[in-house]
Amino acid sequence: MASIHEMAQRYGVQMKKLRWMAREGALNCDAESPITATILYTLRCGNRLTVSQCVALLETPALFETLGRKADKARKQIAELGSVRGAPANIAAELAGAAAGDPASVQALVNWCKATIPPAGEVPHHYLAVRLLMAVPANLRQFEEKRLPRVLLNCRRSEEFAGWWRIAPMGSRGITLYSRQGAGFDL
């Protein structure tokens, strides 16, 4: 039986519509698609891997073998992250507070971000987000991943983090880049 992602690719129907049809019982497909199908769908659409997909590939390198021709694309995106270790447990514990805007939690994450950003060059949002998500227990990741954009936004709003980030144009959208203060930006 085909997964919902394979059906979207094969028939050109939007994922939103297929998910609605599956909930209504009008679509007979696998109830839950494997992570490989999700990653393949993301890569086929020309999108960047999500933070959770990057974490899955980092924790289970054997998944690369199941991606076929798209494996090189995925490897390239993972290589951009460098050598990845999860954030310390005390930083992961601050995610909920930082998402809510708690000043102490935001300060702890700003300090961690400053220590994590490499001395030379610019790194994308995924560089920090993947490390934060890896520190969260696997059964809680689906909830914490939704908080990460708010967590990093609250960090960027902090006065102490000014100059450590910028938004660069990329297509019709912008991409957030982080760099040590004054190291990577042409100011």
Indicate the pTM of the whole model.
0.77
How is 123-148 classified by DSSP, letter by letter? EEHHHHHHHHHHTS-GGGHHHHHHHH
Domain boundaries, the chain: 4-79, 89-178
Query: CA angle, corner 57, sides to 124 and 161, nearest 5?
Result: 25
Helix (H) or strand (E) holding 78, with range, is helix 71-79
Bridge partner list, 169: 174
pLDDT in tens, the chain (187 residues): 566 777 777 788 887 888 788 777 777 665 444 788 889 889 988 899 999 999 999 998 888 988 889 999 999 999 999 899 999 999 999 999 999 999 999 999 999 999 999 998 899 999 999 999 999 998 999 889 999 999 999 999 999 999 999 999 887 888 899 998 655 444 4
Query: pLDDT tens across 136-163, in order?
Result: 998 999 889 999 999 999 999 999 999 9
